[in-house]
Amino acid sequence: MEQVKAVGQEQSPSEPRRVCVTGATHGIGLAIATGFAQEGARVVINAHTSTDNGACDRLAELSECHYVQADLSTSAGARDVITEACALLGGLDTLVCNAGSFFDVPFSELTEDQIDRTLNLNVKGYLLCAQAFANQVTPAQSNPSIVCTGSTNGHAAEKNSVAYDTSKGAVLMMVRSLAVTLAQQGIRVNGVGPGLVDTPLTHPGLSRAGRRKNAAAQIPLGRIGAPGDVAGAALFLASEAASYITGQMLYVDGGILAQQMLWDPET
168 belongs to the catalytic site: yes
> Choosing from 67, 124, 126, 168, which is the catalytic residue?
168
d(CA 208, CA 213): 10
67 belongs to the catalytic site: no
For 264, counting Cβ atoms within 10 Å of its Cβ (0-12 exposed, 13-18 middle, 19+ buried), the class is exposed
Query: How much is the CA Rg of the chain, to the nearest whole Å?
Result: 18
**Side chain identity at residue 144, one-letter code:** P
> Choosing from 67, 126, 164, 251, which is the catalytic residue?
164
d(CA 117, CA 89): 30
177 belongs to the catalytic site: no
d(CA 118, CA 128): 15
On whether the CB atoms of residues 20 and 33 are closer than 8 A, the answer is no
> Choosing from 63, 145, 151, 167, which is the catalytic residue?
151
What CA–CA distances, in Å, run from 198 to 162, 169, 177, 192, 239?
A: 21, 21, 30, 16, 25
Catalytic residues: 151, 164, 168
